[in-house]
Amino acid sequence: MPFTTIKVIENVFTNEQKKEMLKKVTEALIDVCGEKTRKGQWVVIDEVKKGNWSIGGEIANPK
């Protein structure tokens, strides 16, 4: 079954927004893979600390 990771910057999204992401991504995967895969769908949000990522080699530090 699919194991999906969503990477987001720490403290940018509310718990409610993350909950919605998890639900909608799960539903999108079920649309593709079929209802029978629902219990095997893993969707994980991985929060990356500010300053621990870069864009084009430049350390990104969103507000």
Given this model, what pLDDT does residue 21 score? 98
Residue matched to tokens 């992401």: 21
Domain 3-51, CATH class in plain words = alpha beta
Tens digit of each residue's pLDDT (9 = 90 or more) over 8-47: 999 999 999 999 999 999 999 999 999 999 999 999 999 9
Residues pairing with 55 in the sheet: 58
Q: Which residues contact 28 (CB under 8 A, 6 or more apart)?
A: none
**Which tokens is 14 given?**
């509310």
Specify whether the CB–CB gap between 9 and 47 falls below 8 A.
Answer: yes
Q: Domain segments of the chain: what residues?
A: 3-51
Specify whether the CB–CB gap between 41 and 30 falls below 8 A.
Answer: yes
> Residue 62 pLDDT > 70, yes or no?
no
d(CA 61, CA 63): 7
